Structure 1
Amino acid sequence: MDNTNKPPVALKLLAGGIAGASETMVTYPAEFIKTRRQLPQFTNINTNTPTSSLTIIRSTYSTVGLRGFYSGCGALASSNFLKSGIRFFSFETSRDFYDKIFRTKHGAGQRNPLVNVLSGFTAGVAESLMVVTPGEALKTRLVEDAAKGGRFTGKGFPGVAVMVVREEGIRALWRGAVPVVSRQATNSMVRFTTFAMMQEGVAKRWPEVSGNVSTTLAMGAVSGVVTVYASMPFDNMKTRMQSIGGQYTGMLDCATKTLQRDGIWAFWRGTGPRLVRLTLSSGIAFTVYDQVIQTAKILQQSPIKELQTM
């Protein structure tokens, strides 16, 4: 995510979109398992513990096979294509804005950490309000519906959206918006800040490996780990509020009932599969984004070089 020779707006959006769709297709089974574990109806009433990941894997595979692990993937992949494009574009655009306010420049020394924090927060709010909340609302319904008989089976992403709006109103797509905004703002703020700090540190101490694929993958993975633990409570509340027939009046109500019923550790329920997913997805997203930008630059320069040699 170098700031020199800034790519055009369309390229930032496209590169971010490709990065988001790529990581979703690779990591979605972990997202499916995490969502199932977070839903209250999959909690053992006697022991007050969630169904284990292994039980969910066995049950899903025996019932519908491998395709069952991709139930709701279309909704999330479409959402993530748009979300990731908006995320990377919003982050880099807002970072340029905050650089001017704080009078800092990347390359002229270490950037003010507050610039990355504010830029990440801005990107998280933008992506959650524009794309993530409706996409997550539909994904949660598809995952939950798959375990209840598959009323949405074969409907497709647009068909499910139409059914939800017709039955519950347009506001149903933004149910759980507060925890989603909180989660995404925390996600982007922590992820981009952690990644930027490591990126600057590596460039300063080990410039020979700065920018290569393996380094970007590793830094992205580490930023994903930090992000998971910081944002997990919001993710759990989001899933509960967006489940079919939402039973909570707001985020505070959801937090209170969850704490009373399931205890403090319920807020970190599903951490295992989400840790797997975000560790991989964060590394993949940063790497794919950088590679798309670099490839576009090479393709853009190739005709110029050919003309110069003629």
Structure 2
Amino acid sequence: MSAKTRPSSHLIAGASSGFASAIVLQPFDLMKTRLQQVDGRSTGMGFGRLIGIARGIVETHGWQGLWRGTHATLLRNVPGVAVYFYGLQTIRTQMTKMPHFAAAARVSQDSVTTVLPKLSREGDLLAGAVARVTVGFLLNPFTVVKARFESDLYNYKTMREAFRGIIRQQGVSGLLSGWTPSAMRDAPYAGIFLLFYEQIKDKAEQAMIRAHREPSPGLIHSVSAASAAAVASCITHPFDVVKTKMQLRPERYTSLTKTILIVLKEKTFFNGLGLRMSRKVLSSAITWTVYEGTLLLLRERRR
């Protein structure tokens, strides 16, 4: 662990950021899932289509229907984000001891906007990918349940009913549905995100210092995270579509190869891209701003 922060700090900061983003942004996840469950045609990024989906949900379930699946999201995101940040910090701290992955000597480890250790670009790519895929595997059962709650193909009333239904229909292996495309999406996403986030954050802080302005941690974190999320989302979105289809319709999408071929034929690789990008941009801005802000606050309190 970094000498500046305790292990518990990353768990607390990660859980806080995961809770905040899950509550605020659940409607984005819900509508993205509804877009991606459609077979045979591309729904694209049409605003009219999104309004139609939202109106249908509100008419059927009321405004609270836009937060359907929040329990599953919280069960996945709060411990998931906490463990992800803890694991990421542990990996990065160990990698700083390896010459190939440690940041160049000219890169200062002291910063007024972060307490996190700095790595080379290769180090950021690898650390993000390893931490995200590991946590994704552990929490995949909650991801499957979350996707089914958000879809209108299932009518689960409780989390227990959802888990029992999946196991009864597919066995325990059903709880790992879509993990392969999830890993193929999450590994590059997390690596690309962390690389761009750290680079943009460093450049922004240096620019403000050169301009003789006091660096604003909240502004730097939110802009850096939002920009990095936009880039990573565009690159990895096709695997998000494949993952969702395998989790919702395992009887049709029986394998990764078959699903990719179907999605290619139906040209639905970018269904829900606008929603996912919007959700990721906002989620990342909230998550990383709360996470790094909490770490800075805890550091100041200890001082």
The correspondence of residues 69-148 of structure 1 with structure 2, limited to 5 A, is 69-102=66-99, 105-106=102-103, 108-110=105-107, 111-131=119-139, 133-144=140-151, 147-148=152-153
Other-structure match for 1:17: 15
Counterpart contact for 2:27–2:67, Cα < 8 Å: yes
Q: Which amino acid aligns with 1:12?
A: H
The number of equivalent residue pairs is 285
Q: What TM-score, normalized to structure 1?
A: 0.85
Other-structure match for 1:60: 57
- CA shift at 1:203, angstroms? 2.8
CA 1:211 to 1:104, structure 2 compared with 1: closer, same or farther past 3 Å? farther
In the alignment, the residues of structure 2 paired with residue 117 and residue 200 of structure 1 have an alpha-carbon distance, to the nearest angstrom, of 16
- CA shift at 1:211, angstroms? 5.1
Q: Which amino acid aligns with 2:131?
A: A
Other-structure match for 1:220: 225
Q: Which amino acid aligns with 2:155?
A: R
- CA shift at 1:105, angstroms? 4.5
SS for the counterpart of 1:206 is helix
Other-structure match for 1:152: 156
The correspondence of residues 258-269 of structure 1 with structure 2, limited to 5 A, is 258-260=263-265, 262-263=266-267, 266-269=268-271
In the alignment, the residues of structure 2 paired with residue 211 and residue 93 of structure 1 have an alpha-carbon distance, to the nearest angstrom, of 26
Q: Deviations 1:242-281 (Å, cap 9, x if unpaired)?
A: 0044422321211011112x12xx1111011111111100
- CA shift at 1:5, angstroms? 3.8
1:34 aligns with 2:10: no
- CA shift at 1:238, angstroms? 0.5
- CA shift at 1:57, angstroms? 0.9
Q: Which amino acid aligns with 1:139?
A: K
Counterpart contact for 1:90–1:122, Cα < 8 Å: no
For structure 1, which segment, 84-93 or 73-82, has the greater mean C-alpha deviation from structure 2 after superposition?
Answer: 84-93
Counterpart contact for 2:17–2:290, Cα < 8 Å: yes
Counterpart contact for 2:29–2:150, Cα < 8 Å: no
For structure 1, which segment, 50-59 or 67-76, has the greater mean C-alpha deviation from structure 2 after superposition?
Answer: 50-59
CA 1:9 to 1:158, structure 2 compared with 1: closer, same or farther past 3 Å? farther
In the alignment, the residues of structure 2 paired with residue 73 and residue 209 of structure 1 have an alpha-carbon distance, to the nearest angstrom, of 38
For structure 1, which segment, 197-206 or 67-76, has the greater mean C-alpha deviation from structure 2 after superposition?
Answer: 197-206
- CA shift at 1:109, angstroms? 2.5
In the alignment, the residues of structure 2 paired with residue 71 and residue 12 of structure 1 have an alpha-carbon distance, to the nearest angstrom, of 29
The correspondence of residues 283-298 of structure 1 with structure 2, limited to 5 A, is 283-298=285-300
Other-structure match for 1:205: 207
Q: Which amino acid aligns with 1:73?
A: T
Other-structure match for 2:112: none
In the alignment, the residues of structure 2 paired with residue 106 and residue 272 of structure 1 have an alpha-carbon distance, to the nearest angstrom, of 35
SS for the counterpart of 1:249 is coil
Q: Which amino acid aligns with 1:135?
A: F
CA 1:245 to 1:116, structure 2 compared with 1: closer, same or farther past 3 Å? closer
Counterpart contact for 2:2–2:93, Cα < 8 Å: no
Compare the two structures and name the one with the higher helix fraction: 1
Identical residues among aligned pairs (%): 22
Counterpart contact for 1:141–1:242, Cα < 8 Å: yes
CA 1:178 to 1:288, structure 2 compared with 1: closer, same or farther past 3 Å? same
SS for the counterpart of 2:96 is helix
- CA shift at 1:10, angstroms? 2.1
- CA shift at 1:169, angstroms? 1.4
- CA shift at 1:103, angstroms? 5.0
In the alignment, the residues of structure 2 paired with residue 102 and residue 246 of structure 1 have an alpha-carbon distance, to the nearest angstrom, of 49
Q: Which amino acid aligns with 1:54?
A: I
1:255 aligns with 2:260: yes
Q: Which amino acid aligns with 1:167?
A: Q
Counterpart contact for 1:236–1:268, Cα < 8 Å: yes
Counterpart contact for 1:209–1:215, Cα < 8 Å: no
